[in-house]
Amino acid sequence: MKSTGSRINNHRGGFGSLFSAIMSILILSACSPQPPITVYITPFPLSATEAPAQQPTALATRPVYQPGTLVAYTARTGDNLPALAHHFNTTVKEILENNPQLSEKTTTLTPGENLQIPIYYEALWGNSFQIIPDSLYINGPAQIGFDTKSFVNAHPGWLKNYASLAGGEVRRGADLIDYVSLEYSISPRLLLALAEYQAGALSVETLEPQEKVYPLGYEDEFHQGFYLQLLWAANTLNNGYYSWRSGKLDTITRLDGSIEHPDPWQNAATVALQNYFSQVLPVADYHKAIYSEGLYNIYTALFGDPWQYTSDHIPGDLQQPPLRLPFVPGKTWSYTGGPHSAWGEGAPLAALDFAPPSVVGGCAASNEFVTAMADGQIVRSEKGLAMLDLDGDGDEHTGWVILYLHLGLNDKIRPGMLVKTGDLIGHPSCEGGSATGTHVHIARKYNGEWIEADSVVPFNLEGWIAKNGVVPYQGSLSNYGRIITASDKGLANSYITAGNP
- Do 253 and 112 share a structural domain? no
| 300 and 394 both lie in a single domain | no
Question: Rounded to whole angstroms, what are the CA distances from 143 to 138, 304, 329?
Answer: 9, 14, 37
Query: Do 158 and 302 belong together in one domain?
Result: yes
Residue 316 lies in a domain: no
Q: Quick one: pLDDT at residue 500?
A: 65
**pLDDT per position as a tens digit, 244-275:** 999 999 999 999 999 999 999 999 999 999 99
Say whether both 96 and 7 belong to one domain: no
- Last residue within a domain, chosen from 274, 308, 342: 308
Q: Which of 442, 412, 406 is nearest to 320 (CA)?
A: 442
pLDDT of residue 84: 98
- The answer, yes or no, to whether residue 171 has pLDDT greater than 90, is yes
Percent of the chain past pLDDT 90, that is, above it, reads 79
The structure's pTM equals 0.88
Burial of 54 (0-12, 13-18, 19+ CB in 10 A): middle
Average pLDDT over residues 334-347: 96
Higher pLDDT, 4 or 49: 4
Each residue of 196-206: pLDDT tens digit? 999 999 999 99
Least confident of 105-114, 234-243, 353-362, 452-461: 353-362
Domain match, 81 and 224 both: no
Does residue 43 sit in the same domain as residue 77?
no
| Average pLDDT value for the chain | 88
Give domain status of residue 319, yes or no: no
Domain boundary among 119, 146, 178: 119
* Residue 82: predicted pLDDT: 97
User: CATH number for the domain including 86?
Assistant: 3.10.350.10
Does 257 lie in the same domain as 115?
A: no
Residue 484 pLDDT > 70, yes or no? Answer: yes
Out of 60, 88, 119, pick the residue that ends a domain: 119
Residue of 6 and 155 predicted with greater confidence: 155
Residues 372 and 446 in one domain: yes
Could you list the residue range(s) of the whole structural domain that residue 181 is in? 3-51+129-308
pLDDT value, residue 2: 64
* Mean pLDDT lowest among 74-78, 142-146, 165-169, 421-425: 165-169
Provide the pLDDT for residue 60: 61
Q: Residue 386: its pLDDT value, please?
A: 97
Whether pLDDT at 212 is above 80: yes
pLDDT of residue 37 exceeding 60, the answer is: no
Q: In which band, very low, low, confident or very high, does the pLDDT at 126 lie, cut at 50, 70 and 90?
A: very high
Count Cβ neighbours within 10 Å for each residue of 8-23 and write b for 16 or more, e otherwise.
bebbbbbbbeebbbbb
In a domain, 112, yes or no: yes
pLDDT, residue 501, reads 56
Q: Which residue has the higher pLDDT, 59 or 398?
A: 398
Looking at residue 95, what is its pLDDT? 98
1-34 residue pLDDT tens = 666 554 333 322 333 333 333 333 222 222 322 2
- Which pLDDT belongs to residue 44? 29
Kindly indicate the confidence band of residue 464, based on its pLDDT and cuts at 50, 70 and 90.
very high
Asked whether residue 140 falls in the same domain as residue 106, the answer is no
Average pLDDT over residues 93-100: 97
CATH of the domain at 449: 2.70.70.10
Question: Do 341 and 300 fall into the same domain?
Answer: no
Beta bridge partners, 287, equal none
> What is the tally of structural domains in the chain?
3
Residue 392 covered by a domain: yes
Kindly report, residue by residue over 270-304, the tens digit of the pLDDT: 999 999 999 999 999 999 999 999 999 999 999 99
Q: Looking at the domain assignment, is residue 12 inside a domain?
A: yes
Q: Which residues of 337-351 are buried (b: 16+ CB within 10 A; e: fewer)?
A: bbbbbbbbbebbbbb
Whether residue 254 is contained in a domain is answered as yes
One domain for residues 340 and 259: no
The continuous run of DSSP H or E covering 239 comes out as helix 226-245
- Tell whether 288 is covered by a domain: yes
CA pair distance 184, 176, nearest whole angstrom: 12
Residue 325: inside a domain, yes or no?
no
173 shares its domain with 233 = yes
CA dihedral 286, 288, 292, 295 (to 10 degrees): -60
pLDDT for 309 equals: 82
